[in-house]
Amino acid sequence: MKEALSYLKQSLEDRILTKSEKKALKAVIGEKGFNKHELNRLRSEIFTEARKHYNEFKHLQVIDWLEEANKLILPQATRSFYCHSYFSPGQECLNCILTQISYAVNKIDICVFTISDNDIRDKLEYALNKGVRVRIITDDEKTNDLGSDIEYLQRKGADVKIDNSSHHMHHKFAIFDNETLLTGSYNWTRSAAQYNQENILETNDPKAIISYQKEFDKLWKTMSTY
């Protein structure tokens, strides 16, 4: 996706998408074999880049109008529901998490037992630095573990809430931009990737997303600020 976006950025320099640039971009998209979800992400990045080149409010309004019109029209023809599964030990689950964090544009809601994988920590810090709102619900006892990244992420700007209970907040799910859900047994730890038998299910099914978002919002209202 970075390579395809690079071609698009270059074409913005002279405001023209030339025939050669179109050909190169088409080749990259074909070679990478992007699925429909990834193509929608790329489309979103295109509008983000376009906004950077126009400072006048009237121009930004036109771009916003164009993006919203695209959202109304294109999903009818291109949106499809998917469900992917990933397993550990190995990098599949971790890579899935890191990819979705990288894709996030507006908001990430995370509800997990613990976070102690520094690769995930660093990617979440990257998301925070580019303006993504990150909310984390986690188990109060696990925040005191050696290697816990919760306090670090809070200092970097994440909003954190804990269960403050003798029982465990044992969920492991995350919602990205209200568009993608990750759920499963996978703990966001180094051990989960290296040693444990774990799993993640990734889906854009709106019914599942709405259900998990309701649970997140309910927990967010009732739990304590870290």
Beta-carbon contacts of residue 18 (< 8 Å; ≥ 6 apart): 11
Which pLDDT tens digit goes with each residue over 141-194?
Answer: 888 888 899 999 999 999 999 998 889 999 999 999 999 999 999 999 999 999
Residues 167, 170, 207, 217: which is the catalytic one?
170
Tokens (6 digits) for 117: 């994988």
Map out the domains of the chain as residue ranges.
2-78, 83-225
Nearest to 36 by CA among 81, 103, 3, 88: 81
Predicted pLDDT at 142: 86
Q: Are strands 198-203 and 172-176 parallel, antiparallel or unpaired?
A: unpaired
Straight-line distance from the first to the last Cα atom of the chain, in angstroms, rounded to the nearest whole number: 36
Tokens (6 digits) for 35: 């699925």
- List beta partners, residue 159: 135
Over residues 209-214, the mean pLDDT reads: 96
Q: Are 162 and 143 in contact (CB under 8 A)?
A: yes
Tokens (6 digits) for 75: 């999903």
Predicted pLDDT at 12: 65
Predicted pLDDT at 58: 59
Count Cβ atoms within 10 A of the Cβ of residue 137 and give its class: 0-12 exposed, 13-18 middle, 19 or more buried: buried
177 is catalytic: yes
Answer whether CATH 3.30.870.10 is correct for domain 83-225: yes
Phi, psi of 22 (to 5 degrees): -60, -45
Q: Compute and round to an integer the Cα radius of gyration of the chain.
A: 19
Predicted pLDDT at 110: 98
59 is catalytic: no
Which pLDDT tens digit goes with each residue over 1-55?
Answer: 667 667 666 666 666 666 777 777 777 777 767 776 777 777 777 777 776 666 6
Which pLDDT tens digit goes with each residue over 79-93?
Answer: 578 899 999 999 999
Beta-carbon contacts of residue 86 (< 8 Å; ≥ 6 apart): 92, 93, 95, 96, 184, 186, 199, 200, 201, 202
- List beta partners, residue 200: 86
172 is catalytic: yes
Residues 9, 84, 156, 177: which is the catalytic one?
177
What pTM was computed for the model?
0.67
CA distance 117 to 149: 8
Task: Region of 157 please: left (phi>0), alpha (psi -120 to 50) or beta.
Answer: left
pLDDT at residue 101 tops 90:
yes
